[in-house]
Amino acid sequence: MTRRRVIAQGTFDLLHPGHLHYLEQAADLGEVFVIVARRENVTHKPKPVVPDRQRRDMVAALSLVDHAVLGHREDIFVPVEEIDPDVILLGHDQHHDPAAIAAALDERGIDCEVRRATGRAPRYEGELFSTRDIVDRIREERC
Ligand SMILES: Cc1cc2nc3c(=O)[nH]c(=O)nc-3n(C[C@H](O)[C@H](O)[C@H](O)COP(=O)(O)O)c2cc1C
Ligand SMILES: Nc1ncnc2c1ncn2[C@@H]1O[C@H](COP(=O)(O)OP(=O)(O)OP(=O)(O)O)[C@@H](O)[C@H]1O
């Protein structure tokens, strides 16, 4: 049976276990295509520290990931059309509206399910669970 094609996406600036938790859920659903957001399109939080290509290369090297590409500069649905996924998996805390994405997919004739991943709690004291927390820790410890 052919594996379902699954899109995961995000910034993936400083990799952490929350990213792995998200990508594990994507891998459970099928073949994982990750769209790595362009720096210029990260607008809801501080810009990534790590360059675009480096973030893509780090994500591509993970065994959970089958393919990683840098996102489009203007139209986030261009890579989606190219990948032609069966599922788009949104992160548990992502601001994207599943209904709006489903409508945009419909408009472009892409037959694809939109699902939301779960989050997870830290497994031990001090586990660093977001890029922001890693940056804060560096500031506390090294500056
Ligand atoms: C289905 C989907 C496709 C996306 N494709 C792209 C893309 O091609 N290029 C890009 O820069 N961002 C893309 N994004 C957006 C980013 O993954 C995400 O919004 C990013 O981390 C930017 O952070 P912000 O939206 O919180 O500012 C896509 C998001 C979704 C839901
Ligand atoms: N703790 C977590 N649990 C589950 N999924 C997570 C967690 N942290 C991030 N993710 C998911 O990983 C994907 C990529 O996350 P992204 O790099 O965009 O944000 P982030 O690491 O949370 O960054 P920041 O800390 O700067 O907000 C998103 O879909 C996000 O929901």
Ligand 1 contacts CB of residue 37 (under 6 A): yes
How many beta carbons lie within 10 A of that of residue 108, not counting itself? 11
pLDDT at residue 143 tops 90: no
pLDDT at residue 3 tops 80: yes
What is the distance in A from the centroid of ligand 2 to the CA of 1?
31
What span, in angstroms and rounded, lies between the C-alpha atoms of 122 and 127? Answer: 6
pLDDT at residue 56 tops 90: yes
pLDDT at residue 1 tops 80: no
Q: Are strands 113-116 and 67-70 parallel, antiparallel or unpaired?
A: unpaired
Query: In this predicted model, what pLDDT tens digit does every residue of 22-53 receive, in sequence order?
Result: 999 999 999 999 999 999 999 999 999 999 99
Q: Alpha-carbon torsion 124, 125, 126, 132, what sign?
A: positive
What is the distance in A from the centroid of ligand 2 to the CA of 91?
7
Ligand 2 contacts CB of residue 33 (under 6 A): no
Ligand 1 contacts CB of residue 52 (under 6 A): no
Query: In this predicted model, what pLDDT tens digit does every residue of 73-92 receive, in sequence order?
Result: 999 999 999 999 999 999 99
Return the residue whose CA atom lies nearest to atom 6 of ligand 2: 18
Query: In this predicted model, what pLDDT tens digit does every residue of 98-137 receive, in sequence order?
Result: 999 999 999 999 999 999 999 998 899 999 999 999 999 9
Closest CA to 60 of 131, 12, 3, 116: 12
Q: Report pLDDT for 47.
A: 97
Return the residue whose CA atom lies nearest to atom 28 of ligand 1: 76
Pocket test for ligand 2, best of 50, 70, 93 (most atoms within 8 A of CB): 93
Q: Report pLDDT for 64.
A: 98
* Mean of pLDDT values over 1-25: 96
Q: Report pLDDT for 90.
A: 98
Element holding 31 (H helix, E strand): strand 31-36
* ipTM score of complex: 0.90
18 belongs to an annotated ligand binding site: yes
Closest CA to 87 of 119, 116, 67: 116
Q: Report pLDDT for 121.
A: 87
**Hey, what are 73's tokens?**
């500069």
Atom of ligand 2 nearest to the CA of 118: 4
Domains of the chain: 5-142 (3.40.50.620)
